[in-house]
């Protein structure tokens, strides 16, 4: 019986080797299984990944001494669906090591010595369904590590010395979205001490002392004409923990910085020699691991300058004390005119009760006796200014 089994296995082995475009690695078993052509090289003392037949669907390299996965080690294995590398000494995965493995569904990397993961680690694994990373030495996982794994349903990370800070908050959110969320419930923090054994899926911003970005300065519209300044500036600053990063978008597309577009250390966007081609909507994106905020403004370019012209003007008005009242005023011009208001020749300062609306109108929420007087709307741009007055009577 034993002889018969041995003969059958030997025949399968020979058939696979003969049908492969390259020979079976020495000390490995190559055979055709229900999944497809398979190569098994278990516990053979390999220090590197051997040359594997390109038709291989299942590759089993468990319990060897492989220390790294090189950029070319898995090249050409486009049919590979299952890769078992657990129980090795892998401490480094070169960027692009999995490029070309678009059919890989199951990747086993447990029981190794990986310390960190980043956006290039798993690049190219668009079909990966299950990823096993438990019992490594992983302390850090970059926020874009799993960005290419659109098909991922199960991720095992338990028994790793993960340091849980705000930089890991994204991972908690990512794990909660996985289809097989039960596979993530054993993944826990190792440090800091007050979060030891805390499950990653249960972490909140408050646990990690994180705060989402909050704008300190936001960009404002810029108007330039055929006589533009040498530089134009969109200001943007934000606070938060961790400190937010600032990126800029032009018409919703991330802006590439160069000699023309420069992002200063404080987040300000500087545009050198602005012109017609720079006319667009610019968005400042402030982002950290706790969240993100966006604020936008426009750069408008005009071939000519036009003096202000009124569209709406204030009219004499009577109002009962305590009631709200609005005096209309709007204008157009190139550049867009700025509207200010004065009462009895004294410039008005907006307050909780008195506001200048975006349209230019003046709104008084609760009219008082002292609001009685003559109100003047002034519309001004670099070409000139115009004014229009009306009287407000409080009864």
User: What mean pLDDT comes out for the span 343-362?
Assistant: 92
> With left for phi above 0 and alpha for psi between -120 and 50, is residue 122 left, alpha or beta?
alpha
- For residue range 186-228, list pLDDT tens digits in order: 899 999 999 999 999 999 999 999 999 999 999 999 988 767 7
Question: Nearest CA to 332 among 386, 280, 285?
Answer: 386
The answer on 312 and 291 residing in a single domain is no
Assess if residue 129 is contained within a domain.
no
Q: Are 354 and 370 in contact (CB under 8 A)?
A: no
Q: Which token pair is 179?
A: 């289809």
Where is the domain boundary, 279, 302, 325? 302
Residue 1: what pLDDT?
39
pLDDT reading at 355 higher than 80: yes
- How far apart CA 283 and CA 44 sit, in angstroms, is 56
Where is the domain boundary, 302, 323, 342? 302
Where is the domain boundary, 251, 272, 302? 302
Bridge partners, 391 (sequence order): 374
- For residue range 137-154, list pLDDT tens digits in order: 999 999 889 988 999 999
Number of H helices, E strands in the chain: 2, 31
DSSP code per residue over 95-134? TTTTTT-TT--EEE--SS---EE-TTTTTT-TT--EEE--
DSSP label of 6: H
Q: What is the CATH number of the domain that holds 242?
A: 2.60.40.10
pLDDT reading at 18 higher than 90: no
- For residue range 152-183, list pLDDT tens digits in order: 999 999 999 999 999 899 999 999 989 887 76
- For residue range 29-64, list pLDDT tens digits in order: 999 999 899 999 999 999 999 999 999 999 999 999
Domain residue limits at 365: 306-394
- How far apart CA 50 and CA 22 sit, in angstroms, is 12
Residue 382: what pLDDT?
85
Question: Nearest CA to 41 among 225, 151, 392, 49?
Answer: 49
- How far apart CA 368 and CA 249 sit, in angstroms, is 46
pLDDT reading at 289 higher than 90: no
Assess if residue 177 is contained within a domain.
no
- For residue range 267-282, list pLDDT tens digits in order: 999 999 998 899 999 9
- Whether the CA torsion 98, 129, 28, 85 is positive or negative: it is positive
Assess if residue 58 is contained within a domain.
no
Residue 23: what pLDDT?
87
- For residue range 69-116, list pLDDT tens digits in order: 999 999 999 999 999 999 999 999 999 999 999 999 999 999 999 999
- How far apart CA 60 and CA 85 sit, in angstroms, is 7
Assess if residue 23 is contained within a domain.
no
- How far apart CA 126 and CA 129 sit, in angstroms, is 9
The answer on 316 and 289 residing in a single domain is no
The answer on 228 and 287 residing in a single domain is yes
Q: Can you give the pTM of this predicted structure?
A: 0.66
Q: Buried b vs exposed e over 226-250: b needs ≥16 C-beta within 10 Å?
A: eebeeebebbbbbebbbebebbbbb
Assess if residue 40 is contained within a domain.
no
The answer on 331 and 271 residing in a single domain is no
Number of domains composing the chain:
2
Question: Nearest CA to 200 among 178, 180, 173, 179?
Answer: 173
SS (H, E, C) 87-103: CCCCCEECCCCCCCCCC
The answer on 358 and 320 residing in a single domain is yes
Burial of 266 (0-12, 13-18, 19+ CB in 10 A): exposed
């Amino acid at each position: 019986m034993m002889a018969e089994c041995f003969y059958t296995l030997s025949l399968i082995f020979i058939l696979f080797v003969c049908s492969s475009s390259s020979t079976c690695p020495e000390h490995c078993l190559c055979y055709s299984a229900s999944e497809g052509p398979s190569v098994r090289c278990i516990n053979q003392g390999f220090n590197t990944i051997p040359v594997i037949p390109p038709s291989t669907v299942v590759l089993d390299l468990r319990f060897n001494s492989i220390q790294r996965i090189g950029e070319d080690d898995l090249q050409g294995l486009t049919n590979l669906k299952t890769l078992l590398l657990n129980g090795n000494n892998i401490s480094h995965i070169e960027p692009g090591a999995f490029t070309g493995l678009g059919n890989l569904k199951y990747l086993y990397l447990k029981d190794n010595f990986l310390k960190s993961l980043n956006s290039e680690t798993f690049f190219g694994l668009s079909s990966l369904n299950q990823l096993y990373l438990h019992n490594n030495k992983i302390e850090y996982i970059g926020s874009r590590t799993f960005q290419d794994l659109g098909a991922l349903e199960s991720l095992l990370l338990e028994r790793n010395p993960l340091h849980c800070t705000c930089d890991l908050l994204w991972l908690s959110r990512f794990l909660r979205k996985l289809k097989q969320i039960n596979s993530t419930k054993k993944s826990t923090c190792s440090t800091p001490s007050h979060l030891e054994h805390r499950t990653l899926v249960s972490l909140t911003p408050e646990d990690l002392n994180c705060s989402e970005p909050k704008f300190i300065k936001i960009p404002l519209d810029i108007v330039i004409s055929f006589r533009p300044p040498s530089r134009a500036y969109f200001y943007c600053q934000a606070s938060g923990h961790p400190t937010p990063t600032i990126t800029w978008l032009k018409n919703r597309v991330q802006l590439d910085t160069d000699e023309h577009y420069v992002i200063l250390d404080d987040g300000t966007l500087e545009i050198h020699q602005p012109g017609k081609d720079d006319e667009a909507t610019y968005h400042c994106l402030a982002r950290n691991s706790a969240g993100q905020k966006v604020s936008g403004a426009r750069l408008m370019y005009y071939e000519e300058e036009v003096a202000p012209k009124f569209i709406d003007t204030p009219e004499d008005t009577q109002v009962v004390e305590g009631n709200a009242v609005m005096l209309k005023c709007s204008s157009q011009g190139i550049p867009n005119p700025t509207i200010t208001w004065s009462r009895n020749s004294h410039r008005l300062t907006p307050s909780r009760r008195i506001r200048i609306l975006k349209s230019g109108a003046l709104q008084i929420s609760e009219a008082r006796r002292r609001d009685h007087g003559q109100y003047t709307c002034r519309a001004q741009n670099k070409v000139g200014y115009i004014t229009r007055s009306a009287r407000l009577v409080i009864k």
